[in-house]
Structures are given as C-alpha cells and as structure tokens.
Structure 1
C-alpha cells in the first residue's frame, strides 16, 4: 500500500472514486416499484438501526466538544484555542477509554479459561458479573461479559463457553471485534478455533467506512462473510442517505462482495434493482468493472457508461470505456497511467465517438508525461493535445474551459539548469482557431535555446547576459503563407548596476541582436504575401536604462488595528529603451516575440506611491524583523518618444476639439508624448485585492480604456469582478464594454455551495455566458446541479446537468439536458 501511495496510482484515478468501485455485472436491470424488490426490501425498517449502527461504528469514536467547522488557517485566535482544547479532550478521552477497556468494573469476576491442546490450546481471559459451570466443560458467564482470545474480543450480556470444543454462544447486545472489523447483533455462535460463526439481527463495520446489516450474518472464514436479507452502505446513521438492500451476499475482505437481488435506495425510496453485482472491498487498487454511469443527454439520448479498470502492475494501470446512447452514438476510450520510478510519471487518454449525424468517428487524444530521470539533472515534459475537428470540444466536452477553447498546443521539451547556464530543447505545435473554419498553425521543429543569466565578469562591475536560439520553424497562416524555414538568433548584452545610495539606484544595459532567416516574406505575382525563398540577416543594437529614486519614505506607528507599523514610500522611476532602426523589417515572417521587435527610442516616467504594512504580533510574541506586505500602490506614468517618426499619439486633426490643423499638411496630428496611465493596486489581505487602470489620451482629451478587477473573500465565500471598457481615442465612441462576475457562496457551511460565473457585454446588452453550479457534500454522498448557457455568434447553447457521487463508489448518475 505504501508503494502504491508513493507512485501515486492508488488515490488519484478520477474514475475509480475513493479506490472503491461498484463493479456491475449487469445480468439484467429494470425500473422497480414496491413489488419488485424481493427479499432485500423486507426488514429495512425493522433493523434496529439505533443500536446496531451505533454498535457498528468504529471503536475509536468518542463524543467530545465539537470543534470549529473550518480549516485551522481560517480560525480566529479564540477558535484556534477552542480547537486545541478539543484535541486535548479527545486525546484524554481516548486514553481514558483505553484504561477503562482494560480495567474490570468494580465487583466483576476475572477469569482465565484454558482450552485443550487437541483444540490448539491457549486460553480466554476476561471478566463478568458472575461465572458458573454446567458440568465441567461449559462455563456460563453473566452480566457485562468481556472475553478475549488472541485478537478477538466479544462483549455480551450472557455467554456460554464450551471449553472442550472451543465454542461460544452469546446473547444480548453482542459485539464481536476483530482488529478493525466489528460485528454486532442479538445472538452469536462462534468457533474460536476456526474463527467462524453466526450472528443474528446483525450489523457490521469494515474498515474503511463499510457498513452492512442483515437478519443473519455468518463469518465463514478468516476474511469471508455471508449475509442474508441485509443492507449495505458507506453511510452512518439510522436511515442512510443511500444504501443497497441485499437478498444475499458473500463478502470477502480485501476481495469482493458478490451480491444477489440488490436494490438501491435513497433514504427509504427505491431507485433501481440489479439482480447481481460485484463490489470490490479491497484497500489496494482492484481490477474489475467500475460503477456504471447512467445519464441522459438531450442531444444523444439515454446514456449508459461502462468501464473496466485493469491493474497492470505496481506502477501501471489502464481503464477501458464504452459509452452507449439511445440515439445511436457510441463512444469508446482508454486511459493508461504509469509511474515506473519516483521521477517519471504520466498518462494518456484517447476517446472516440461514432457520430451518426456526421456519419463519422470523431476523436481526441491527451498525453501527459514528465520525468526528472534524465542525465545531468535535466527534466523532460511531453504534452499532446490532438483532435479530429475543432467542433469536437463544443459538441462533446463537459469542461467549460475546453468547451470554449480557441487554441490547442502540443509540446515536448527537455530543460536543464547548471548555475547561470540553462539549455532548453523544445518541439511544439500550436493551432489557433479563427472564424469561418480557418486556423493558424505554428510549429517549432525543434528549437534549441541557450541562455546565460546575468554573470559577473571577474572584478569588473559588469554583468554579461546572453540569449540565443536555433530554430526550424513551420508556419501556416494562409494558402500562400505556408512554409518551413530556419532561424538563428544571438543577443548578448552587458549590464551595469549602480547603487549610489539606499534611496537611489540605477541600471544600464547595452547589447546587439543578430538574427538569420533562411526564408523571408513578400508580395508574390498576385500581390499576396508569400514566402520568397530569399534569406535575410537582421542585426541591430539595443540599450536600456533604469533610474529608481530619489525615494522618500516615512514610518507611522499604530497603537491599534491589525498592523503595528505603516510605511509610505514615494518612488520616482525613469526607464529608457532604445532599439535602432531595423532594415527590411517587413520581410521578416512573424512567428514569435523575437520577430516582433520594433525600433523605438522611448523614455517612461512614473511616480509611484507605495504603502507597506507590518502585521501586529500576537499577544506575548515579539515583533519579527521584515514581514511587511504592500497593501496599496498607485502609479502615475507617461511615456515619451524621442523619435520624431514614431509618435505615441496621433489622429485626424478634424477630430480635435476645435478642429485646428497642426500644419503637417496631411490632415493628421501627432504628439511625441503618450497617453497618461494611472494604475491602482489594493491588497489588504490574502483574500481581498483590487486593481484599477485608466488610460487617458491627452491629444484628444479622451479616456481610451479602463479596467477594474478584484476579488473579496470571507471564509469560504468569495466574489470576483472583471470589467474592461475601450473607447475610440478620437471620437470617444465606445468600442467594447464587457464585465465578468464570479462568486462562490456557502449556503450551508461545508455542505451546500453555490458558484456562479457570468460574462456580460454591456455595450450590446447581451449576457454572453452564464453558469450556475450547486454542489452538495454530504457525509457519504454528494451531488452537483449545473446550468450553463452560452452564445456563439447566432447560436445559443444551453446545458442542464445533474450528477450524483457516492462515497466509496464514485459518480453514479450523470444527467444532461
């Protein structure tokens, strides 16, 4: 078991639930009414649940003071103190229970009953209120009897021991404990030599969290039981949230429960009937059929999902899927997982569905692999996402993120780091989906990248940084712009940091980038952009500078509140960036950021106000050094272009207030200075944050964009908002205005939770997406109710989904409309 946890294949499989699976051999199934339940239904209400369920709970349970119902890191000091007190009380109670368990009550008679060597010898010890003998070989124990033999302990009101045959007969509130297993009932006959017997009006507890009861339970072997007319569940309580009634069942601990005439109930209401099921009750991973998934889809009809899980060894397993729909859809799939070593693991999933509407098989493939078992401490990762067609995700995916996906990327890389040196070898394929069924495909086949992080040059105050890469690239943007080419890039630079004072620092950098392309782009004979077959060397110098300061600060001591000190910092910053003119920039095929570098000569000034807070130490604790967090910052900035040919603001002069021409003669007006930007960040706690940004065009006197995003949390509840608006800088006409709201609310703490996600286009007065998710988490079952509506152009898609998950079983029901 420890090995399985180490390699991660024991608990992580999403389709096997909590490693407990209902393996349904569907000999036949039918919707049932009250008359179709057979033997398993009788006696459900007659089972003495109050006494038997209580007796069948884990022996370690003890009623104590209820702790606060929240994680420790969310507790107040008072709640944490109460929780710690509860933990101490729990420990004391357990110690007291153990002491009482081993101590006979006052007035009891202790005994030591020997058995003959012919029956294996040994003896049984314990105590009782009284002891008598019938003949010489039968001991009769009465009043609070406790008898122990090896790992077995039996409690009863009256107990008869046949010393010759090693047989016991117990009566009245009988409890049989054998390790983590417990049987309770009215009467018991038990053979101490074979450790088998029969208990009536029985209930049983098997670790972890399996309960069953029956009119008669026979222990037929060391790890086997037979149940007649019983109930099986993973729920505690008088009326379980869910249960299976059993006509009869043979149960093997660390094996299987083979059940005949099984009916499922929710509370007391019958749901369905199965003539035969096989249910693994093993702590390890177990091969077998998984819980059938029953559901309904408005598009594909009634649904039955079957799966078979196969353990291939300590480090490998696989699951085969078969999905059957009443509207002629058929889905097949396989998932394979592996972790042969501590540093290597992965899984791959392939799923295909026969679509009768398109009369073709449609499919997807997901592969994830990672390893650290490479030479020289290198790490490797492989991620593959392939599909038959883009519409597959909209038609068949249940995940909101994948249902609205706009691009897919497959990639594999090997990376290594040695001090300041790093080496990356990358292959990737990225497809971006456009309107009209078009897509753009970009591939690295491969890319080899070497980087030297800033490294000091001997005793000089200079640092050397090098970025370089060698690529073989593939680009498919259109019918004519489709081809493969090579690219080599080298960009060394020198960095000079200068620290004149604690409140003033500077940094200077200069370098040269050289890039070679084996092919370039340009207009063809039809004046359409295409590859030309001509190579190109691009080279340019670049430089940058950064000045921070002089900074001014002041510290404020606080006598109350959550913070003991506040520090206000006023920090002017000036950043400068220069890239010399690049020749033939329009001939470069645009693949990534290396190709999109443009000439510039820009300086940016910013005035930053920062407020840092130091948390107040708890009572009795000393104030620690450091530990301050930035709770508020406000940055006001503006950029300026020193290149007359590249102004940062421009437009038509007739749109200026007053319509005044600036004398350029072409009807345009330009400014070297850029818009003014204001950025505000507020982070008072880990659960609360706010970011607001405004850009103002000084040429036309217009706000061009605003954005507001933030979230606030209170315990397990949260609310998030994102709102972005853009305007035309000349006319002030609104171009876009969109808001997104997400919320999570615990309607019943740790039981019932409501999540919502809304995307609203304010400009169009259109609710583009809405999703509501209601989750209920019970003691042994949970359900999810989801409503989703999305608009894709002129299409509106709506989804209503209900799923039910049972403890130790997995997802049991999945309905979609």
Structure 2
C-alpha cells in the first residue's frame, strides 16, 4: 500500500491547514493491541496529511516526527501504523541521541529503530563523519556503509583534509570498525591502500594494534616498530612492543600504566634488546609510582636500572642519557603532620663511567646503596611563647658502598642535628637572628688509610664525629625613599644592607670517614658575607606594588683560612670574589638577570652570566650566556650560550620551536633542535630535527609524526643521520 501522488489544493479525505501545523498523537500500543504508554507516543507535524484506509499516514511539507529519542525531518513521509515502518524523502534529517544523519531517502522501522539511508551524510559519535551511497543502521550500535568515505573532519563540498574511502564497512559504536577496500586519502589524493582494516571506534581505550613506527639510521639500518595496546581494566593498561632492525637488532618491550585511585598512579617500562655483535639480550627498566594515603602518608618510588648502560648509550645515542650517568632507584614512605615528618627510605644509586677510547676494560661502577633509613624532621618551630625556634633532623641508616675492588663494605650510621635560633623583636628597620647548632654522627665502621693517607678498605672500628655550627643574620638599618610620578604612580627605592656570618667547627680527620652523601662531607667555615641590596618597587594606582629591579653587591671574608688560594704571582687571600647581581622585570613577560664576579685582586674577572626571557602570548624567547676567566692568564677559558624560543600566533594553528647551545670558546654548536607543530581541524603534525655534538657523542636525529583526530597516530617516522659508530 502506497500513498497517492501529492497534488495542490484540497484532496478527498484530506485535512488541509494553510500555513499551519497539525499535531496529533498516535499510540503504538493501540495499533499493536497493547496499552499505550507515554514513551510510545508518536508526534507528527506537517502542512498536508491524509489517511489511506486508516492505516497508512501520508504527509507532505515541513514534516516533523518525534518518537522516543528519534527526531525526523523531511519533505514527504509514509507511515504504516500497523508495522511502524516509514519511508521518507526530500531533505531527510534523522537525529537519534548524539548521531545525526542527512540523506535523500530513508526507509526506517520505528519499533526496531533500524533502517537504511541513501545518499547520506552522517555524524556518528564520538567524532566521526560518513558520506556515501548507503548507510544501514543494524541496531543501536552497529552500522553498515557502502561506497563512501569515513573521516573525523567536518564534511563540506570540498575534499576533507583526510579520509578513508571504503567499498564496504561494518561499524560498532564504542567497538571496532571493519573496513574493506580501504584507500587512505589526503585532500582527496590516495596515499595508502589496504584490502582490509580493523580500527577501534571508541571514546574509551580499546585493545588493538597501534600504528606502526618506521625509520632509518646508518647505525642500525631500517627500523620497523609495532605495538599492541591492551586496556586490562579501567585502572590498568599495558602496551607490548616489537622492534625489528635490518642490521639484526631485535627489541621487545612492555609498558604498564596504572591508576588504582584518584591520588595513585604509576608506570613501568621494560625493554630488552638483542645485540647481534654478542648475541646477548641487554635490558633496561624504568618506572615511577606515587600515591597519597589517608592520615598524611605518601608513597613514592622509582626504578631505573639496566644491564649495560654503556651499550644503551651507544645504541640510543641519546643526549639526555649521556648527560645523566647515574642510575637511581628509590622507595619512600612518608608521613607529615604539622611541622613534623617521618620518612622511611631505601635507594640504590649506580654511577656508570663510560669506557674511553684505548681502554681495554671498563672502569668500575660506583654503587651507593641505602639499604634502609628512618628519618625524623622537625621544621623550625617556636618554643612556647619565647622568641626561640628549634629545628631537628635525626636519622639512622644501613648503608653499603662499592668504590673499588677493595673499598667495599656495609656499615651503619646515626646522625642527629638540632639547631636553635633566636628571633629578636628589635626595630622595624633592623633585625638580628642568631643561630646555634650541633651535629653528632656515629659510624659503625671507618676507612683504613694507606701510607699516602688515602682510603683503601673498611676497618671494623666504630667512629664518632661531632662539630658545632653557628650563624648570625643582621639585616638593616634599611632606608627608603618614595617618588611620586606625574602620572600619579609611585616608585620606591629600598636600600637594605645585610651581614651573614656562618661558623662550622673542625670535626677532625675527615679522610677516615666513610662518605655516602652530603652529611658526611664537612667544609670548615668561619666566614661572613656582606651584602648591600637595592630594591626598586613600582606602584600603579590602587593596585599593589611590584618589584621591578634589584641590585645586590656582596663579598665573602674568611676569619681563618684563605678563600682564594695562591697562584703565583697572585697571593692567597681571605677575601672571596666580589659579585654584582642585577635583576629586573620592567614589564610583564620580560625578565633580565646579569651577574659578574671579580677579584679579590683588581682586574681579575672570574665569571659573568646573562639570563633573559621574553614572553608574549604563545610566543617566547630566552637567552642564557655564561663565561669564565682565568685571572692569572687574563683570558677567557669557557663561554657558552643557550638560545631557545617558540613562535606561534595567538590562537593560531602552527608553532615553531628552536633551541641552540653554542660554545664560543671552541666555536662549535653543541646542540641544535628545531621543531614545527601544526594543528588542523581534525589532524595534527609534528616534525623535529636535532643535532648534538659532544665528546664521545655525535648525533643527528629526526622525527616526523601525523595524528588523525579519532584514529590516533597514523604516521611516526624517526631515525638518525650521523655516521659515527
């Protein structure tokens, strides 16, 4: 049964309302012989409508149909109320939940909410668009499409930035898409073809193979890397890696990530690589975990270990790895309440020294193991209503050290370091703060020295070390002056002299003390530092004042030993270098820091430095320059500059980044990095080039990657260009 052709004017059996809408409700249950419910009501609005045998409803002109979560618009419609099937044509738009489909013609079953659309443009959640000859809705989550394109770019009359042309595909929302006859296109130009493709179509994480990485460098040859992602649960996922190289290297890895609670998260990267030269599998592991617990407790941990760091240095040729020679793993449990904290700690540090050219055997590693430590800390706390403030650090350690074949051993250490300071009321322009402390450290073993007074092994003899510390801080008298400018704003200049005195007594022969960290090394001191500080403040209107510039002049003086040692013809001196430090922030986004040290002899420059940065919107530039001088030879011994910056228009799609480290002394660019980012409406691209030059490491690397919105990384190419072994 079909509707008769539509004609102008009033038709027999037709209710015609000019320039108006007729709304009525029909009950699905009534036509099915079941009670009607509110959720089953159909609402139809149209300019013209007619009945055929009281079963077929025909409507034309601005048709609007509503049924449960379905909204339908079209020019003409036929609804068979016995089957709840409809046919619509002419500017058809079907909305259901988050999806929208526009087509020329539609056949749809309202009861089952399935049907077929012809010549269709569709939006499918979360971010996908389809345009093609036919789209069939199989159920609430499954679709079948024919002869069309699939993309996450909004569809217009022009070719989208990227699309996947398919002969046929079956899609499952929050599932996978099975594509057949796939052609990847960029601006309508085909760039890739595959007979079949499986891809996740999910808001949430989905298991599946990731886009392969590939590249080339002359050290390892061509490279192909593939990965499989597996979301084990909402709080845990993992990615497996397989890397193949044309020069017979094979890499296998796994990255695990977890977040079991809101304040707990961590990751672990495991990787093993077959070395074709030795046929051995080298490995490395790196992971972190942090978690906040109730009651002020927190857990932090890190693992960083490898079977052969020298091998991975050569293989990766990474500047970051080569400038970080230490492998450090730790686990801490801490609790903080008020000014107090307790820390339980265990850590392992291994410093690996690189095998230099000409060495037949690698130098021994330095291993420092903190097997266990309990530490108590009390931050500076006022004692009752007195002006006294007390602080305390106390700890107990079980330590193990490997410095050489003979200088290896395990021992215990107890350390207590209390300090007391007095905060005087004084005058508002003058403050005086004296501090006194004492440190007592007990070792279960000590170093045994050879004839040249150098440590060679551990001796089973306990050792107690103690020394006193003292300090005095005098600030003032401070003077200031305020200028009122013609604009009504104000400038304030503050001159604030300070004297800082520090004292550390002699703890005895330090060569017999086992050195593990900074607590074991003591620098005897009896010195003071005078400082003249100048600070400039700017106040605009009713807003608060801000510091726009400061200039500090300072120098150290020792009351006992020299601070500057003799280098004939220059004599030793108890004075340290004279230093000037200028910092200024004339306006928001600009900062400049200039420092210079000289002396203590006239004309003997020691070092200079300049640090500046400027930021405007999304763009910025920063410059750091430092130089050191030999006062005896009156010439520069080192000079390096670091220039970095980023250029991007405000709200723009592109961003250019650069960084350069230049050695003026050797006239060599040590590190160059250039990167370009582009963010399109439905895709993004990244390109990077880096050239690193340092003793033992010459590396030129590149990377190009393209991400497609909704699909993830489509292309990731990286490799090396250098020819060094």
Mapped pair 1:110 → 2:36: no
Partner of 2:678: helix, strand, or coil? strand
State the partner residue of 2:169.
249
Shift of 1:113: 4.5
Equivalent residue runs for 1:649-660 within 5 Å: 649-654=564-569, 656=570
Bigger mean CA offset, 420-429 vs 503-512: 420-429
Tell me, yes or no, if structure 1 residue 813 matches structure 2 residue 715: yes
1:671 is paired with a residue whose SS is coil
C-alpha offsets along residues 135-177 of structure 1, whole Å, 9 cap, x if unaligned?
4322222222211111101111222222222121111221100
Cα deviation digits, residues 89-147 of structure 1 (max 9, x gap): xxxxxxxxxxxxxxx99534434345443176544223223223344322222222211
2:475 corresponds to 1:548:
yes
Judge conservation of contact 2:251–2:272 (CA < 8 Å) in 1.
Answer: yes
Report 1:147-166 matches (<5 A): 147-166=65-84
1:419/1:105 CA distance change after superposition, 3 Å: farther
Rounded to whole Å, the distance in 2 between the matches of 1:483 and 1:525 is 21
State the Cα distance separating 1:466 from its structure 2 match: 1.5
SS of residue matched to 2:506: coil
Partners of 1:635 and 1:653 lie apart in 2 by 31
Displacement of 1:289: 2.9
Corresponding position of 1:535 = 462
Residue aligning to 2:11: none
SS in 2 for 1:633: strand
The residue that corresponds to 2:639 in the other structure is 737
Aligned counterpart, 1:598: 523
- 2 CA distance for matches of 1:598 and 1:231? 73
Q: Counterpart of 2:398?
A: 472
1:220 aligns with 2:122: no
Aligned to 1:722: 624
Match of 1:44 in 2: none
Aligned length: 688
CA separation of 1:560/1:446 partners in 2, compared to 1, >3 Å: closer, same or farther? Answer: farther
2:279 maps to 1:354: no
Q: Write 1 or 2 for the structure with the bigger share of helix.
A: 1
Does residue 422 (structure 1) correspond to residue 337 (structure 2)? The answer is no
Q: Match of 2:577, SS?
A: strand
Q: In the TM superposition, what whole-angstrom CA distance separates every residue of 1:655-708 from its partner, at most 9, and x where no partner exists?
A: x4xxxxxxxxxxxx2222222111111234563222111111132521101111
Partners in 1 of 2:315 and 2:148 — Cα distance? Answer: 41
Partner of 1:639: 556
Match 2:601 to one of 683, 688, 699:
699
Task: Please give the root-mean-square deviation of Cα atoms over the aligned residues, in Å.
Answer: 2.5
Structure 1 residue 401 displacement after superposition: 3.4
Distance 1:722 1:816 in 2: 30
Gap change, CA 1:690 and 1:331, over 3 Å in 2: same
Residues 566 and 573 in structure 2, CA contact (< 8 A), matched pair in contact too: no
Residue 320 of structure 1 is aligned with which of 223, 235, 240? Answer: 240
Q: Tell me if the contact between 1:649 and 1:699 (Cα under 8 Å) persists in the aligned partners.
A: no
Secondary structure of residue in 1 paired with 2:101: strand
Of 315, 326, 329, the match for 1:407: 326
Which segment drifts farther, 323-332 or 158-167?
323-332
C-alpha separation between the residues in 2 aligned to 1:493 and 1:222?
71
Q: Is 1:575 matched up with 2:477?
A: no
Contact 2:275 2:282 survives alignment (8 Å): yes
> Which sections of structure 2, spanning at least 5 residues, go unmatched?
1-16, 357-361, 720-725
User: In 1, are the aligned partners of 2:619 and 2:649 still within 8 Å (CA)?
Assistant: no
- Which residue of 1 is the match for residue 6 of structure 2? none
Whole-Å separation in 2 of the counterparts to 1:119 and 1:798: 77
Contact map agreement 1:741 1:758 (CA 8 A) in 2: yes
**Higher-strand-fraction structure:** 2
Deviations for 1:182-232, whole angstroms, at most 9, x for unmatched residues? 111111011111111110111211222111222100111122111111211
Instruction: For residue 359 of structure 1, report the CA deviation from its aligned partner.
Output: 2.7
* Greater mean deviation of Cα atoms: 541-550 or 475-484: 475-484
1:379 paired residue among 298, 321, 332:
298
Residues 468 and 685 (structure 1), Cα distance of their counterparts in 2 relative to 1, 3 Å cut = farther
1:209: which partner in 2? 127
Single out whichever of 428-437 and 586-595 deviates more from structure 2.
428-437
Aligned to 1:453: 379
Segments of structure 1 that go 5 or more residues without pairing to the other structure are 1-103, 617-622, 657-668
Q: 1:477 to 1:726 in 2, by over 3 A?
A: farther
Question: Counterpart of 2:691?
Answer: 789
2:182 maps to 1:268: no
SS at match of 1:674: coil
Contact kept, 8 Å, 2:484 with 2:490, in 1: the verdict is: yes
